[in-house]
Amino acid sequence: MRAVIQRVSEASVTIDAHVKSKIGVGLMILLGIEDADTREDIDWLCRKISNMRIFPDEDGVMNKSLLDINGDALVVSQFTLHASTKKGNRPSYIQAAKPDIAIPLYEAFVDELSTNIGKRVETGEFGADMKVALVNDGPVTILVDTKNKQ
């Protein structure tokens, strides 16, 4: 499971000219799922994201977590995070999980993150053509892969 985590002052997802989801200060999370991902990956990644200290404290030091600031979260499925670019110029997405595996894991991730932060997590729509808008604050962008826990 891979996640691109961006600290944002605001973010939204628009589908067919309709704003589906919108958040204020918090995290925009692009989530890539592969066949090998498990419930253990979900639990570890949700804990990591909820507690990651990337928000400024009173002295401007990144020392506060999403929990500390009671921030929002927006999660968007992003199969292209598992793109392989080793051969040729057309990325291969063979490592990305197919919908029958990815959708239940995506939904479980959203539910677990919501439980961890104690509030509703906004989402995109799995498989939809989405327009994602955000204001990256900092900018702060972090890549986390559950296959590289050590």
Please give the mean pLDDT across all residues of the chain.
Answer: 95
What is the predicted pLDDT for the residue at 84? 86
Label residue 118 by pLDDT band (50, 70, 90): very high
- The string over 87-118, giving b where at least 16 C-beta atoms fall within 10 Å of a residue's C-beta and e elsewhere, is eeeeeeeebbbeeeebeebbeebbebbbebbe
Catalytic-labelled residue, pool 38, 80, 115, 141: 80
Residue 80 annotated as catalytic = yes
Q: Report d(CA 56, CA 20) in Å as an integer.
A: 29
Q: Give me the residues paired with residue 55 across strands.
A: 64
**Residue 2 near residue 31, CB atoms below 8 Å:** yes
pTM above 0.85, yes or no: yes
The domains of the chain, with CATH numbers, are 2-141 (3.50.80.10)
Distance CA 65, CA 69 (A): 6
**pLDDT tens-digit readout, 33-62:** 999 999 999 999 999 999 999 999 999 999
Better pLDDT: 148 or 140: 140
What's the token pair of residue 12? 């939204």
